[in-house]
Amino acid sequence: MTDTGAPTLWRMLREAAVQTCALVAPRQCPCGREDTRLCPHCTALLESEPCRVESCCDALQELSAARVRDEVHGDLMLPAGVDHTPLLPVLALGEYGGDLQRLILAWKNGGMLHLGARIAPALSPAVARLAGDADGALPFLVPVPSQRSARLRRGEDHTAELVRAMERSGAGRALLLRAQPTTAQEGQGARQRRNRQILLRGRAARQAGLRAAPVVIVDDVVTTGSTLRGMHQALTAAGMQVLGAVVVASARVPTEPRTAGERTG
């Protein structure tokens, strides 16, 4: 436990306030079903098998080979074209749409903070899969940094809270770094947006880097993957070993199961 007394007390008070609000608010699932805080249908959405989505994230693709003509390597015929290899594996519980989208929006923006306690254990199998691909040690869980404006609007940092809840459910160890996304500039080109820079500050990042700590990045929704790319870059540059990323939902999911490194060109 690295928590000091004051933040713990603050979290307890806030949790008490959330619980009190939940008592007076009508019970409703984000999908609209009454008399339940999370209906069986939405519970099943969270219990779905995590799927690999990195092949759907444009900003995560690295050009790994280009051929101007068909090439034969032993038994293998490689057609002319380009190969893309994703930068890191990304696991999601499902596609960002329908009831899963309603659930995420209710948790992020709709004041239903209690949903974080249901989402956190649902992400544990995805973390275990990434850690199992490494050597099975309990990884560190790093939330993507929220924009300060978003934190002020919502009054809390929901990805940091999610990572704390994931630690409580035994998925890994929360590693809350002082990370600062650089704000998008007006008129910025696609290349700069793809390469979103994230600055890591503070002692925790330096220490984790020195230990080459295995980390899993945690976020709510992935779209192009530019934020995950920025986090991967910042964590790797600091010396940490990035096992992959775990998100609740992905803007796009593969239409059929694909494996990492599969040709996309």
Work out how close the CB of 223 gets to Zn ion at its nearest, in angstroms, rounded to a whole number.
Answer: 24
C-alpha pair distances (Å), 131 with each of 8, 37, 245, 247, 250: 28, 31, 11, 15, 20
Q: 54 vs 99, which CB is nearer to Zn ion?
A: 99
Q: Which residues pair with 222 in a beta bridge?
A: 250
Return the number of the residue (112 or 163) whose C-beta is nearest Zn ion.
112
What do you get for the CA distance between the two ends of the chain, in Å?
A: 48
User: Looking at beta carbons only, is 31 or 117 nearer to Zn ion?
Assistant: 31
Q: How far is the CB of 33 from Zn ion (least distance, A)?
A: 5
Owner of token pair 């390469």: 195
Three-class DSSP labels, 202-260:
CHHHHHHHHCCCEEEEEEEEECCCHHHHHHHHHHHHHCCEEEEEEEEEECCCCCCCCCC
Total residues interacting with Zn ion, rule: CB under 5 A: 5
Rounded to a whole number of angstroms, the minimum distance from the CB of residue 30 to Zn ion is 6
Between 34 and 75, CB nearer to Zn ion: 34
User: Which residues within the stretch 167-206 sit at the binding site for Zn ion (CB under 5 A)?
Assistant: none
Smallest distance from the beta carbon of 199 to Zn ion, in angstroms? 39
115 binds Zn ion (CB under 5 A): no
Binding mask of the shown chain, residues 11 to 50, with x at each position contacting Zn ion by CB under 5 A:
------------------x-x-x-----x--x--------
Q: How many other C-beta atoms lie within 10 A of the C-beta of residue 172?
A: 27
Q: How far is the CB of 27 from Zn ion (least distance, A)?
A: 11
Least distance to Zn ion, CB of residue 31, Å:
3
The residue among 46 and 246 lying less far from Zn ion, judged by its C-beta, is 46
Instruction: Indicate the burial class of 152 (C-beta count within 10 angstroms; 0-12, 13-18, 19 or more).
Output: exposed
Nearer to Zn ion, 33 or 118 (CB): 33
Half-sphere exposure of 134 (CA within 13 A, CB side): 20
Site for Zn ion in 139-168 (CB under 5 A): none
Helix (H) / strand (E) element for 121: namely helix 116-133
Residues in contact with Zn ion by CB under 5 A are 29, 31, 33, 39, 42
